[in-house]
Amino acid sequence: MDESPSTNIFRKATLQCIDCPEGTVPIKRVGKEELRASKRFFESIPSRSNEVSPQASKYPGVYQAVAKLNGGYKGIRSKISAQKLENVAANHWSTGQMWVSDDPDGGYINSLWAGWIVAPTMFQDKGETRLFAHWGTDINKQCFNTYCGGFVATSKKTALGGILTNVSIYGGDQYVIDTYIFQDKGTGNWWLQVEEENVGYWPKGLIPALDDGASTVMWGGLTFGPAGENASPMGNGRFPLAADFQKSCYSAHMRTVDSAYNLVEAPKHQDFNIDCEAAHHVSHFWGASDLGVAILYGGPGGACS
């Protein structure tokens, strides 16, 4: 698709205002239910059965609709549209995110994630859209935000788990998060930057498989729910419309950091992984200079059969 939409509707999403004293950083208080909910997800990862349906993800209850590149990468960047996603059920969650990974199949093992998440049970809220990050090495070592160590917070203003105070309006103003994961050439640490603010980093050695860079990068959405239940909605809860950025969830200005540490535009075509086409879609877009290479993704969720 190479039509150029009007893009004067795009605005920067903002987080709840935090200003910690010099030398301190904001750390969201973690409740027991948040820890239990994150544990439920990780306990689902080991199963690679096809008990849910022939089309289901190899991890029952986990569904992605993503654009993927394989090669050698030192980072990934994009502007992710922030959405107020309705009807995410108890014990379910849904994200708009990016991955760097050493797992060419799906990005759960030896991976770093960042973006937004709606997880009412995990956060004990009414479905707020929150900034989040995640890291994982194998099925026994997975962690959201700062729940179990690993991620070193450095910003005194931006906290993982913080609520996005403005989100996109269907057919109206669109709000985006400029999200950037990159490996520092000198230290080998992997940094998370949001709106050009260094939020923190994952130290080199936390995920040894990523010490020399990532073999896979991805953009798109991920949903999780108990195996056997319908897939959760993704994006803005609707299937994406071709080139209509006011009525679709998207990642725009998709870029990668190559093996020489250069930030470059992503190729116009990527491979797609769609675990449940009945529930979620993803499509390409390019042509508008102020959007760069982009994808549109999402869907209402539903049965995957």
84's enclosing H/E stretch is none
More confident residue, 59 or 55: 59
Does residue 54 surpass a pLDDT of 80? Answer: no
289's torsion region: left (phi>0), alpha (psi -120 to 50) or beta? alpha
Question: For residues 88 and 124, what is the distance between their CA atoms, to the nearest angstrom?
Answer: 13
Does residue 239 surpass a pLDDT of 90? Answer: yes
CB atoms within 10 A of CB 108: 25
Q: Are 31 and 121 in contact (CB under 8 A)?
A: no
Confidence category of residue 131, pLDDT binned at 50, 70, 90: very high
Question: For residues 95 and 129, what is the distance between their CA atoms, to the nearest angstrom?
Answer: 9
CB atoms within 10 A of CB 198: 14
Q: Please state which of the ranges 52-56, 82-86, 281-285, 296-300 shows the lowest mean pLDDT.
A: 52-56
Instruction: State residue 40's pLDDT score.
Output: 63
Nearest Cα residue to 250 out of 286, 287, 295 = 295
Tokens, residue 297: 């993704």
Instruction: State residue 35's pLDDT score.
Output: 64
Query: Per residue in 80-99, pLDDT tens?
Result: 999 999 899 988 999 999 99
Mean pLDDT of 220-226: 93
| Mean pLDDT of all residues belonging to the chain | 85
Confidence category of residue 13, pLDDT binned at 50, 70, 90: confident
Cα separations (Å) of 133 from 102, 146, 202, 244, 303?
Answer: 17, 8, 10, 28, 28
Mean pLDDT of 17-41: 58
Q: Tell me the HSE value of 142 on the side-chain side, using a 13 A CA sphere.
A: 20
Fold of 10-47+55-298: Jelly Rolls (2.60.120)
Does residue 8 surpass a pLDDT of 50? Answer: yes
Q: Are 250 and 240 in contact (CB under 8 A)?
A: yes
Domain boundaries, the chain: 10-47+55-298
Instruction: State residue 50's pLDDT score.
Output: 35
Q: Are 251 and 220 in contact (CB under 8 A)?
A: yes
